[in-house]
Amino acid sequence: MKALMLAADGFEDSELLYPYYRLREEGIEVDIAAPAKASIMGKHGYTVEANMAFLDANPEEYDLLVLPGGKAPETVRLDKMAVSLTQVLFNAERPVAAICHGAQTLISAGVMRDRRATCWPGIRDDLKAAGADYVDEEVVVDENLITSRCPNDLPAFCREIFRVLKGKS
């Protein structure tokens, strides 16, 4: 099993690192893609190595997409390849998990209409404007879509990622 995380400078450190290590702990290979294959820095100073650029990611290889929050989604959502990767994986009904501002990439990908989801409160109006049914809960699962609000929700977020993955295997 293989997961893809889309990130850029300014990612929320815990929202990338917590799922990254939980996925690896369960034996899932994880690639981190960014605008370029390079080191990226989180909001709180942690750095991770993006082992590939968005352009080099092949959606056919992935069973799961994870979209961490922070300020990074502002960069991710403006990259045509990142948006395309999101659309392809979402429309292939692969599990797509977004936390906090990660939903911004889903909004730009145009996949939120008639989907039930949550996000950081500061972008809830954007989620609603994209046609989603916004709910304020720690984690929301709507078919292949898994969403959470903030770092405090990470245990529930990861629990549901694994529950959905188990159902897909």
Q: Domains in the chain and their CATH numbers?
A: 2-168 (3.40.50.880)
Question: Angle at Cα 67 formed by Cα 66 and Cα 68, nearest 5°?
Answer: 110
CA 105 to chain centroid, in Å, comes to 8
Candidate list 22, 77, 101, 115, residue with the active-site label: 101
pTM above 0.85, yes or no: yes
* 72-103 pLDDT tens trace: 999 999 999 999 999 999 999 999 999 999 99
Is 44 assigned a catalytic role? no
Q: Which residue has the tokens 């950081």?
A: 120
For every one of its 169 residues, what pLDDT tens digit does the chain have, with 9 covering 90 and above?
999 999 999 999 999 999 999 999 999 999 999 999 999 999 999 999 999 999 999 999 999 999 999 999 999 999 999 999 999 999 999 999 999 999 999 999 999 999 999 999 999 999 999 999 999 999 999 999 999 999 999 999 999 999 999 986 5
Neighbouring residues of 19: CB distance < 8 A, sequence distance ≥ 6 = 5, 66, 68, 97, 99, 154, 157, 158, 161
